[in-house]
Amino acid sequence: MLLDLKAYLEKRGSASIVDLSNKFRTPPDALRGMLAHWVKKGLVVRHDFGAECGGCKPTGDCGGCGVSASFEIYDWIGPQG
């Protein structure tokens, strides 16, 4: 599955953790562990735009909604195969 994940990102260029979870029918936490392998090798970079969320609450705090996971993006930066 590690190589399938690599091939998918390599072909698409980038994908959210939600997209990857749906594609591979695997929980996001399990995918994060596999993606960490490619991040460590310098072939994938992780962007977490959810941290920039202004929040859903009137106080501006994060509402803890599931939407923030869709802002967790993984980009392929390695050579194209």
Write the pLDDT tens digit of every residue in 3-45: 999 999 999 999 999 999 999 999 999 999 999 999 999 999 9
Q: What is the pLDDT of residues 52-65, one digit of tens each?
A: 555 555 555 555 55
Question: pTM score, two decimals?
Answer: 0.76
Could you give the 3-state DSSP secondary structure of residue 58? coil
**What residue ranges in the chain does DSSP mark as E strands?**
14-16, 44-48, 72-76
